[in-house]
Amino acid sequence: MAKMMKQAQDMQGKMAQMQEDLDHIMVEGVSGAGLVKATATAKGELKSLDIDPSIFNGEDKEVVEDLILAAIKDAQSKAAERSQQEMGKMAEAMGLPAGMKLPF
């Protein structure tokens, strides 16, 4: 029983460390052939937005807004994918079956 408790505590520690690590892993979403770039953490928190000044034209306001949204959605999608990859690595390291979703 003590061994199981120790393993559970180890897993909790590893999960906490992984959650912290996800704050430091950055992913980049891109739209408009690189004219708009959104950077987010692997947790999906938007950190920066880079917009090429060439797209600013008063008549193209809706296009610019769409490009910004597309870049943010791309970054969030990549963040979710990266987060799942990292959790999969941790599950594998703990000897859990492939495809098991973490956290439980």
CATH number at residue 67: 3.30.1310.10
Q: Total structural domains in the chain?
A: 1
Q: Is residue 90, in this structure, part of any structural domain at all?
A: no
Q: What is the pLDDT of residue 26?
A: 95
Q: What is the pLDDT of residue 101?
A: 61
Identify whether the C-beta of residue 38 lies closer than 8 Å to the C-beta of residue 52.
Answer: no
Average pLDDT by stretches of 10, the chain with 104 residues: 82 86 94 94 93 84 90 95 88 71 56
Q: Is residue 52, in this structure, part of any structural domain at all?
A: yes
Residues 6+ apart with CB under 8 A from 11: 94
Q: CA gyration radius for the chain?
A: 19
User: Which residues span the domain enclosing 41?
Assistant: 25-79
Q: Is residue 29, in this structure, part of any structural domain at all?
A: yes
Q: Is residue 3, in this structure, part of any structural domain at all?
A: no
pTM of the model: 0.74
The residue with tokens 């973490």 is 102
Identify whether the C-beta of residue 76 lies closer than 8 Å to the C-beta of residue 40.
Answer: yes
